Amino acid sequence: MGDYILAIDQGTTGTTVALMDATGRLRASVNHEFPQHYPKPGWVDHRVDDIRASVEKGIRGVLRKGVCKASEIAAVGLTNQRETALLWDRETGEALNNAVVWQCRRTTEFCEALKSAGHEKAVRRKTGLVLDPYFSASKFRWLLRNTPGIKRRLAAGRVAGGTVDSYLVWQLTGGQQHVTDVSNAARTSLMNLKTLDWDSELAELFEVPREILPAIVPCSGLLGHTRGVRGLPDGIPIAGMAGDQQAALFGQACFAVGDAKCTFGTGSFIVMNTGGEPLHSHAGLLTTVAWQLGEGGKPVYALEGGAFICGAAVQWLRDGLKLIRRAADVEALAAKVEDHGGVEFVPALTGLGAPHWAPEARGVITGLTRGTTRAHIARATLDAIALQNADILRAMEKDLGRRMRPLRVDGGASANNLLMQIQADVLGRKLLRPQLIETTVAGASYLAGIGIGLWRGTADIRRGWQAGEEFRVRLSAPARRRRRASWETALERTLR
Ligand code: G3P
């Protein structure tokens, strides 16, 4: 066997498959987008076969790049869109319904009913999460009530449930392993943050039978072996696994308490390492597990704030409004104007996440005049992405009671220099962009490499992290306050 790690990042809009060598360099990667389905306003579905096919295509595609032979892959690392829930048949492996995507709001009414019945405090205390349709538990319940033939299958013990990580491990091991890692399990609303196990009271509250759930395992170690995967030999250890935001935190080498990163993906997520104890938020943020290395390893916790729409807003400009041809064109278009020209776009296209938690909120564009151009809308979109993050960072600093360290940025849209400058300006904080911005696949590779002993631990990873560009604040404090005030007026309209 060689020393390459194959990392699979199964994201919301597509799958990236990459190869990392033993020096920690990403040597090749491919990405395959797949269709999104919006069966009703506020609903978001994925076809499970599209997810599976994109992974298989990615594995074949990255191997075709000729960096190494399949026999030289020493381990597989996985990372994934979190919270998205799905059910499949244990005997045939066949998906029983579409996957209900994390952005989907179809379970709003049920979550509101639980809130009205006074359950939010207990859910929060046990899971670190708010009661919101974002998390998997209410999605499992919906699937269990709305999937044809489910009762019969449940009675026969054939229903397997899980988040995307769990489904992928099942697929890659030829149905040998039904597991989920602790960082993904932490996003279901069914795992107790302290015991790191499924909580029977929560399972009862959300009406999710314990027997459909996978076993919870650490983020690195021997988690299974490949079996029957086209293009890969049997027996390669699957040795790393984490939700994409936690993998990015790991890939950014945020190993010290207070280290934080912001990933600009479909959504944007600020996550801060809070060390060995969960820190409960009073400002609308989530407490979550960052990772656990090896069986019995001490868990590391994190504080997180996510805006549901980031790159997805740019995709909407491309696909919904047809304002640009390629997502990357947004930077040049937005740079044609000096500022947003009074236009505000609040991209609450799937409700609002942290720190507002308003699943019913919908997007608005305000401040249009006859002088408004496509460029103003593009610029307002970039501003909105940055302003949402600024709201989250402020909430985080409130919880901490002090200023945070410079924020590390990553993800596809972090390559957009204009967006990064706007972000530094509206935050009033310096940003650090590493040389490697694909930190999510990198994180999954590192976890797998540590899992097989290719790297000894986090110290090896920290040494490999290389700073790229810094973005310093250029906007004056009064100008920043004015910019935020205008955004907040538009935001209030969305929340009203
Ligand atoms: O919680 C949702 C998150 O995991 C999705 O990430 O990268 O697909 O925006 P991404």
The pLDDT tens digits of the residues spanning 267-280 come to: 999 999 999 989 99
Query: What is the average pLDDT value for the chain, to the nearest integer?
Result: 94
Q: Is residue 266 part of a domain?
A: no
Q: Is residue 18 part of a domain?
A: yes
Q: What percent of the chain is predicted at pLDDT more than 70?
A: 100
Q: How confident is the model at residue 405 (pLDDT cuts 50, 70, 90)?
A: confident
Handedness of CA 113, 116, 121, 124 (dihedral sign): positive
- pTM for the model stands at 0.94
Residue closest via CA to ligand 1's atom 9 equals 266
| Residue pLDDT, tens place only, 110-125 | 999 999 999 999 999 9
232 alpha carbon – ligand 1 mean position (Å):
27
Residue closest via CA to ligand 1's atom 2 equals 82
317 alpha carbon – ligand 1 mean position (Å):
19
* Dist. CA 271–CA 44, nearest whole Å: 24
| Residue pLDDT, tens place only, 295-324 | 889 999 999 999 989 989 999 999 999 999
Which structure tokens are listed for 15?
Answer: 């799958």
Q: How confident is the model at residue 496 (pLDDT cuts 50, 70, 90)?
A: confident
328 alpha carbon – ligand 1 mean position (Å):
19
Alpha helices in 43-198 (DSSP H): 48-64, 108-116, 120-127, 136-146, 150-155, 164-172, 182-185
Confidence (pLDDT) at 399: 87
Among 33, 101, 102, the mutation site with the greatest number of ligand 1 atoms within 8 A of its Cβ is: 102
- As to burial, measured by CB atoms within 10 angstroms (0-12 exposed, 13-18 middle, 19+ buried), residue 172 is buried
Residue closest via CA to ligand 1's atom 1 equals 82
Alpha-carbon 138 to chain mean position: 18
Residue closest via CA to ligand 1's atom 7 equals 265
Which among 9, 111, 92, 4 has a CA at the least distance from the CA of 51? Answer: 9
Residues within 6 Å of ligand 1 by CB: 11-12, 81-83, 102, 243-245, 265-267, 306
Residue closest via CA to ligand 1's atom 5 equals 81
Confidence (pLDDT) at 400: 83
183 alpha carbon – ligand 1 mean position (Å):
13
DSSP per position, 326-379: STTHHHHHHTTSSS-TT-EEE--BTBB-TTT-BTT---EEE---TT--HHHHHH
| Residue pLDDT, tens place only, 147-205 | 999 999 999 999 999 999 999 999 999 999 999 999 999 999 999 999 999 999 999 99
What CATH number does residue 56 fall under?
A: 3.30.420.40
Q: Which residue has the higher pLDDT, 400 or 59?
A: 59
Q: Tell which atom from ligand 1 comes closest to the C-alpha of 81.
A: 4
Question: Is it the case that residue 1 has pLDDT exceeding 80?
Answer: no
Q: Is residue 465 part of a domain?
A: no
372 alpha carbon – ligand 1 mean position (Å):
32
Alpha-carbon 222 to chain mean position: 23
Q: What are the Cα distances from residue 253, in Å, to 15, 31, 155, 256?
A: 23, 24, 46, 8
Q: Is residue 453 part of a domain?
A: no
What DSSP state is assigned to residue 255? -
Give the mean pLDDT of 70-95: 96
149 alpha carbon – ligand 1 mean position (Å):
30
Q: Is residue 399 part of a domain?
A: no
Phi, psi of 2 (to 5 degrees): -90, -165
Question: Is it the case that residue 398 has pLDDT exceeding 90?
Answer: no
Query: Cis omega before residue 41 (within 30°)?
Result: no
* Dist. CA 15–CA 35, nearest whole Å: 12
Q: How many domains, in total, are found in the chain?
A: 1
Q: Tell which atom from ligand 1 comes closest to the C-alpha of 267.
A: 9
Confidence (pLDDT) at 49: 96
Question: Is it the case that residue 230 has pLDDT exceeding 70?
Answer: yes
266 alpha carbon – ligand 1 mean position (Å):
6
Q: Is residue 394 part of a domain?
A: no
Q: Is residue 415 part of a domain?
A: no
Confidence (pLDDT) at 404: 82
Q: Tell which atom from ligand 1 comes closest to the C-alpha of 134.
A: 1
263 alpha carbon – ligand 1 mean position (Å):
9
* Dist. CA 376–CA 174, nearest whole Å: 51
For 97, the domain range is: 4-252
Give the mean pLDDT of 21-35: 93
86 alpha carbon – ligand 1 mean position (Å):
16
- As to burial, measured by CB atoms within 10 angstroms (0-12 exposed, 13-18 middle, 19+ buried), residue 113 is exposed
Q: Is residue 367 part of a domain?
A: no
User: With left for phi above 0 and alpha for psi between -120 and 50, is residue 35 left, alpha or beta?
Assistant: beta
- Amino acid letter, residue 122: A
Q: How confident is the model at residue 2 (pLDDT cuts 50, 70, 90)?
A: confident
- As to burial, measured by CB atoms within 10 angstroms (0-12 exposed, 13-18 middle, 19+ buried), residue 341 is middle
Supply angle C-alpha 229, 31, 25, rounded to 5. Answer: 85
